[in-house]
Each structure stands twice: as C-alpha cells, then as structure tokens.
Amino acid sequence: MPGPDSSQTQGSAAPSQHLQACPHCGLAHRLSAPRPGTASHCRRCHALLRRTPGGPRQAALPLAALGLLLGLAALPAPLLSLHLHGLERDGTLGTGARAFAEDGLWLLGLLLLATVALAPLLRLGLRLVVLAGLASGRPPRWLFHPLRWEGALAAWCMPGIFLVGGLMACVRLAMLADLRLGPAAWLLAALALVALAADEAFDPLATWEALEARGAVADPSALAATATAPHGARPWLACPCCHRLAAAAPATTLATLAARAPGWGCARCGTPLHPRKPAALARSTALLATAALLSLPANLWPVMGITTFGQEATHTILGGVLALGANGYPLLALLLFLASIVVPLVKILGLAAMLLRAAGLPAPPTPALARLHRLISALGRWSMTDVFVVAVLIAMVRFGALASITAGPGAGCFAAVVVLTMLAAHAFDPRLMWDAPTRATRARERAA
C-alpha cells in the first residue's frame, strides 16, 4: 500500500489474521486477539475495523434460518387490505411491483422486489450455507464464494426501510378508506428484527478466519506461501472483501502495481487486488454527475398521480411531505423530508467534495470528509423511503375513476438518483483523500 498506509512500524512481519488495513484510510493495524463484545477502530480516521459480537456465535445460524423462513412466508401472504365504498383490494409484496410495471416503470418494480425480498432472502440463504458448512465435519472448499456474495448484498437489503415507507403510506391510506394490516406486514416486521439480530450475532472476519483455518479458500497453497515468506519492504495490498493483507511479489513497485490492469486475486476469497480501486475517480464522477442531473426532474416531476371521483391531481416529493404535515403527522413528514430531500442533497454535495479532495483540489478537511463518507454509505439507502411509499400507495389504490393512484416519472428519476449515488459512494475509494496531500507534496517538490 502506498504512502502512509505502508505501515513502516510492521517491518518485515508477514500478514496474519490480526494484521488489517483500514478500508477507509489505508492505515495498517496490528489488532490484538478479539474479545467478545469489543470493537477496534482506526487510529487515524476512527473507522470501525472490527466488531466482535458479545453473544454466543452459535446464535448466528438459527437466526439466519429463522429470518429465511419468515421472508419466504411473507412473500405470498397479504400485506394490506383496503375497503372503499364496498370495494375491496388486497396487496402482497408483488402487487407494488406489478403496479409499477403497469405504469411503465418495470425497472422500478424489479428494484422493489430485489431490495425488499430477493436480496435479503438470498443474503440470509448464503449466510446459512456458510455457517452450516463450517458446522459440518469437512466444509467444502468453495464455501468462500457464498460468503463473498453475502457481503456484497448487504447494502441492498431494505425490508426495514420498506416498513417505514409502508407506515407512511398507511397513514395516508387510512385517511382515504378502511385499512387492515395483513399477515405479511407482521412477518416483515419480524424479519427486520431477526435480520438485525442476525447481523449482530454474525462476525464476518471471524468467519473468514475460520474458512482460512479449514482450507475453504480460493488458493490454499498461495495462502500458506504468503503467510510464511519474508516480505521486507514490499508494498501491502488489502483485500476489499475479506480485508486480508497480502504482500506484492518480490521487486514489485507501486508503479507496477498501479499498471496491472486486472490485479491478482486474494488467496483467501479470490477478489482482485489493487493498491487502490481502479478508475475510482472517473467512475464515481460519472455516476455522481448523472445522479445530479436526474435530481432536477426527480424533484420537479410528479412522483404519483391521484384520481378521486374523476378529479386528477399530481404530487411531487415535497408535496408528499407537506401532505403528511398538513394531516397532523409532523414527525413522519420530517422523516420523509430528511430521507427524500436532505439526504440525497448531502450525498451529492458530500461526494463532490470528496472527489475534489481526492483530486488534490481545495475541499473540506479529509477527516471530516472521511466521517461523511461513512455516514453516506450507512444512511444513503434510506432515501428509498419515498419510493416505497409510492409503491404501497399505487399497489392498494386501484379503483378506477372512484380512486386511483399511479406512479409518475419523478418516482423513476428519484429511484435512479438513490441507486446512482449508492453506486458512486461504493465506486469511490476514500483512501485517495488521504493520498492527496502526499501527491500534492511530491508535485511541489518536483516543481522546486
């Protein structure tokens, strides 16, 4: 690893299970043996490096199994039941996706199913496979694949966010007709709680270490070689998936590392290794610029159209916030305002400042931007709340000219903004912000 994260204090020590680089600033740390209920943070940027669950690790497997069963039971079950002037309509998780498709926004319907049902269930299923495999006498060698995919799905699991959006939609539906919660609503609430408990009981790094100890890794021979070979002052490479440190080949320079197009795979999980994410600035800039352009129609165009007794009206994102406030729900209105207006704006402006800092241009201090990047990565998906509000409303209110709600083009643009900013935050490499002062200093030295 270049610059300050080369960890000169480690000397020629070989990487071990307790040697880890901060994924946010790149500084290498030698962590002590983990104790239950403890957490380790980076000395430089204070990011969380490792959290060890305080409860029994055996709880992770039954919790994953229980969450999977709850999710599978919630898929076909009725979510809501709406009664209006003698008419009745029941809705499931798939009803909102079909309504989006009927309104010409089929990609939004797929996104709804993927984030609320498919990604959470697939993640729990993959975790269950890994934990069950480790509990067996001889775990299969391919077990590193599902653990790698399980981590990649984390940001796209949103059943809890869907519940918040559904609550806001129910407030508006209750003002229109008689509303009753179906079994799927309670199953989803239980799933969100069980998934939270399952995440608390699951220790990804300990699981990677267990796979390494049992030989269920991408390249066991290379793993043994890198664990015993003397590395000297060669650059370190940190795996972005399992966070294992590996040393480059003999006589490898940082320039050589940067020039390698595909990199080489991590011996533990098979993820391609690079000193920094390839083309991070270009990819993040392109995604952020597209999101910024789409944010204008997302806020100006209607996210839904409402027909009552033949009278048509449209609502923008801000209109939905004002409607909640006007009907006596100021806290829900504030939450929707923060999630749908404030958070996307902060994400766009914050990522723009990070790109300027990484490029060596004037920007806020790096420590502050590093904290903002972690906040954006953690809270950015909550902007999907407004999309889920629209999904529930259009799913339930389909009574023709009597009362109907349809999705508007603003909903598709807004969902695109949320997804693009999430991808931009993921494509960006925050370690570049800590590299920027070093590059600027070297440029001034060359100029002198």
Question: Which of the four pLDDT bands, split at 50, 70 and 90, describes residue 1?
Answer: very low
pLDDT value at residue 264: 67
For residue 301, being part of any structural domain is answered with yes
Q: Which domain range does residue 345 map to?
A: 280-440
Contact between 434 and 4 under an 8 Å Cβ cutoff? The reply is yes
Nearest to 301 by CA among 419, 390, 421, 380: 390
Cα–Cα distance measured from residue 48 to residue 344, given in angstroms and rounded to the nearest whole number: 24
Q: What is the tens place of the pLDDT at every residue in 55-69?
A: 667 899 999 999 999
Residue 260 pLDDT exceeds 70:
no
For residue 293, being part of any structural domain is answered with yes
| Residue with the larger pLDDT of the pair 249 and 3 | 249
The reported pTM is: 0.87
Question: Which of the four pLDDT bands, split at 50, 70 and 90, describes residue 137?
Answer: confident
φ and ψ at residue 417, rounded to 5 degrees: -60, -45
SS3 151: helix
For residue 347, being part of any structural domain is answered with yes
Q: How far apart are the first and last CA of the chain?
A: 27
pLDDT value at residue 362: 84
Using CB atoms within 10 A of its CB, is residue 293 exposed (0-12), middle (13-18) or buried (19+)?
middle
For residue 428, being part of any structural domain is answered with yes
Q: What is the tens place of the pLDDT at every residue in 389-436?
A: 999 999 999 887 788 899 999 999 999 999 999 999 999 999 999 987
pLDDT value at residue 344: 93
For residue 51, being part of any structural domain is answered with no
Tokens of 57: 């690790």
Residue 77 pLDDT exceeds 90:
yes
**Hey, how many other C-beta atoms are within 10 angstroms of the C-beta on 427?**
20
For residue 317, being part of any structural domain is answered with yes
> What residues does 265 pair with on adjacent strands?
272
Q: What is the tens place of the pLDDT at every residue in 173-182?
A: 887 778 899 9
Nearest to 427 by CA among 212, 208, 281: 281
For residue 141, being part of any structural domain is answered with no
State percent of the chain over pLDDT 70. 86
What integer best gives the mean pLDDT of the chain?
A: 84
Q: What is the tens place of the pLDDT at every residue in 300-359?
A: 999 999 888 777 888 899 988 888 888 888 888 898 899 899 999 999 999 999 999 999
For residue 98, being part of any structural domain is answered with no
**Hey, how many other C-beta atoms are within 10 angstroms of the C-beta on 215?**
13
Total domain count, the chain? 1
